[in-house]
């Protein structure tokens, strides 16, 4: 198991609501990436945080936003939830400044939007 933790494990929300997902990175890692994985699909890159700054973003609308804290943990916020936001949300931590190397994934948060 990696040292990456995510909370909560499962979450049920209704359309239009807002949600915050949390991720604690592995000790010594300063970079957190977030991915969305719809059922039967591969993970899709949402964005990445490196030393508290957004450091790259995938093709997701602005209602997906994030934060990284001084201890390198991170939050993913999604506003105005839509049914299609139902997915497994994965965070991954890695060491920055070394190019794209191995990422260590947490167990994920399963979000269901009704």
Q: Report the interface residues with other proteins, using CB under 8 A.
A: 2, 4, 31, 33, 35, 39-45, 48, 50, 55-56, 58-59, 88, 90, 92, 94, 96-97, 99-108, 110
Query: Toward other proteins, which CB reaches closer, 18 or 69?
Result: 69
**Beta partners for 57?**
47
DSSP annotation of 40 reads T
Q: Which residue has the tokens 């990696």?
A: 2
Shortest approach of other proteins to residue 26 CB, angstroms? 12
Whether the bond between 81 and the residue before it is cis, its omega within 30 degrees of 0, is: no
Query: Toward other proteins, which CB reaches closer, 17 or 41?
Result: 41
Query: Toward other proteins, which CB reaches closer, 16 or 72?
Result: 72
Distance CA 72, CA 15 (A): 30
């Amino acid at each position: 198991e990696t040292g990456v933790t995510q909370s909560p494990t499962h979450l049920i929300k209704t359309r239009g609501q807002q949600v915050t997902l949390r991720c604690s990175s592995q000790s010594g890692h300063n970079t957190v990436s977030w991915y969305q994985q719809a059922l039967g699909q591969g993970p899709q890159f949402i964005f990445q945080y490196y030393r508290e700054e957004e450091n790259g973003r995938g093709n997701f609308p602005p209602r997906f936003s994030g934060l990284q804290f001084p201890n390198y943990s991170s939050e993913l916020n999604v506003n105005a939830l839509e049914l299609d936001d139902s997915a497994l949300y994965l965070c991954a931590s890695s060491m920055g400044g070394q190019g794209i190397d191995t990422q260590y994934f947490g167990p994920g948060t399963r979000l269901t939007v009704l």
